[in-house]
Structure 1
Amino acid sequence: MGTESPRRAREVLRTLLNGLSLGVLLIIVALGALTIVVPAAVGGMPLSVLTGSMRPTYPPGTLVVIKPAAPEEIGVGDVITFQIESGNPAVATHRVIARSTDSGTGEVRFTTQGDANNTPDAEPVQPVQIRGKVWYAIPYLGWANQAIDGSTRNWAVPTLTGALFVYAAWTVGSGLRERRQKKRTAEEAPAPRSEGD
């Protein structure tokens, strides 16, 4: 009876740790899918919000996932990511507050403004500047995205994913080994003798 209690406590602790490990693994896999796989599947990209211009909707540190959108798919109220200056890689993510058409070219233009800004952006956005429309956002994950630059991400993400899968396989394997060992021990144990023997 005395050895049963510590053994049972160890089993409960091991089960809890295995459950926690599996939960963490599933969260990491889900986040990886939401930030890498899903955007890549639709030709989109994850970007980090660095300024407070879109508070409270997208505060700094938010990861926004954008997907390509044709000008006719963009309406007032949509949040778009666009080049601040045509041909310049720097981008901003602001809300469309008006659509207009250039009288000379007939090309649509978008007036944008950050939710936290008091005035609209100085220049209307041309279709050529648009990188995409915000599809979904994940709070706080932008800080991690910002901390891991492109070259680090190329080796860190596959390494971390591989390590997690190895750990998960080891956890499952050790659990199966332990069950087999218990079953073998139970089979090898002598049968209880009856009082008449």
Structure 2
Amino acid sequence: MFAKIIKYVLKPLASLLLAAAITFSFLVAGVKLLGVELYTILSPSMEPNYHTGALIYVKEVDPAELQVRDVITFRLDGTTTATHRIIEVLHEDGLQFRTQGDANDIPDTNPVDAADIIGTPVVHIPYLGYAASYVQNPPGLYAAIAIFAAIVFIVLIVDILDGVYNPKPDKKAKADNSNRKETEA
């Protein structure tokens, strides 16, 4: 009975947990290898298109190609970023963009310089930004490492138990038995 539980419940569940952990790791960290930056939407200014807590994947873009109605992620200062929609392209003091959040009644105060543009969002995943923000700094990072290690440990234990309760026939013994049958015939 325990052998069937291991084979049909614990093994698939452990594999699913490991696959989920690897997928989450790729979604949060691996995409940087593809040249995509991650940002979490922290305010409701872009609702209903981007909800608070959404994780957005931002791809670099040539500012000269941007147009009115495009959504951009840009630097407000050294550490703060925003994601808003372009409502006007300005050419007076170099290339600049007037932006506004979809949920805001008025445009942003200052235009955005082309040099401050990070890129445009290409994909967003609702609520994943909360988890991504949590695991990027201690203690969330430590918790994520511990959870991943625990999942790997569970997968190993399930594999060990599977080998104990569902032993595989020895290939050499099986080959010896088939040779005996051939010589007896």
Q: TM-score range by the shorter chain?
A: 0.7 to 0.9
Q: Match for residue 179 of structure 2?
A: none
Q: Secondary structure at the match of 1:134?
A: strand
Q: Distance in 2 between matches of 1:12 and 1:170?
A: 14
1:95 touches 1:113 (CA, 8 Å); kept in 2?
yes
Shift of the 66–152 alpha-carbon distance from structure 1 to 2, 3 Å rule, reads: farther
From 71, 79, 100, the counterpart of 1:113: 100
1:152 alignment partner AA: P
Q: Match for residue 83 of structure 1?
A: 75
Q: Could you report, residue by residue, the CA deviation over 1:146-187 in whole angstroms, capped at 9, with x for unpaired residues?
A: 334524355444443233223223223322332217x58xx9
Q: Distance in 2 between matches of 1:174 and 1:124?
A: 63
Identity %: 28
2:34 paired with 1:47 = no
Deviation (angstroms), 1:78? 2.7
Shift of the 153–78 alpha-carbon distance from structure 1 to 2, 3 Å rule, reads: farther
Q: Match for residue 124 of structure 2?
A: 137
Question: Normalised by the size of structure 1, how large is the TM-score?
Answer: 0.73
Q: Distance in 1 between matches of 2:167 and 2:136?
A: 45
2:58 touches 2:119 (CA, 8 Å); kept in 1?
yes
Task: Name structure 2 gaps, 5 residues minimum.
Answer: 174-185
Q: Distance in 1 between matches of 2:42 and 2:9?
A: 38
Deviation (angstroms), 1:55? 0.8
The number of aligned residues is 171
Q: Distance in 1 between matches of 2:24 and 2:135?
A: 15
RMSD: 2.6
Task: Name structure 1 gaps, 5 residues minimum.
Answer: 1-6, 188-197
Deviation (angstroms), 1:23? 1.8
1:112 touches 1:121 (CA, 8 Å); kept in 2?
yes
1:82 touches 1:125 (CA, 8 Å); kept in 2?
yes
Deviation (angstroms), 1:36? 0.8
1:74 touches 1:133 (CA, 8 Å); kept in 2?
no
Question: Normalised by the size of structure 2, how large is the TM-score?
Answer: 0.77
Query: Which moved further from structure 2: 148-157 or 126-135?
Result: 148-157
Which structure has the higher relative contact order (CA within 8 Å, separation 6+)?
Answer: 2
Shift of the 153–12 alpha-carbon distance from structure 1 to 2, 3 Å rule, reads: closer
1:113 touches 1:119 (CA, 8 Å); kept in 2?
yes
Q: Match for residue 56 of structure 2?
A: 64
1:101 alignment partner AA: H
Q: Which runs of 4+ in 1 moved over 4 A?
A: none
2:23 paired with 1:30 = yes
From 59, 68, 86, the counterpart of 1:96: 86
Q: Distance in 2 between matches of 1:73 and 1:21?
A: 47
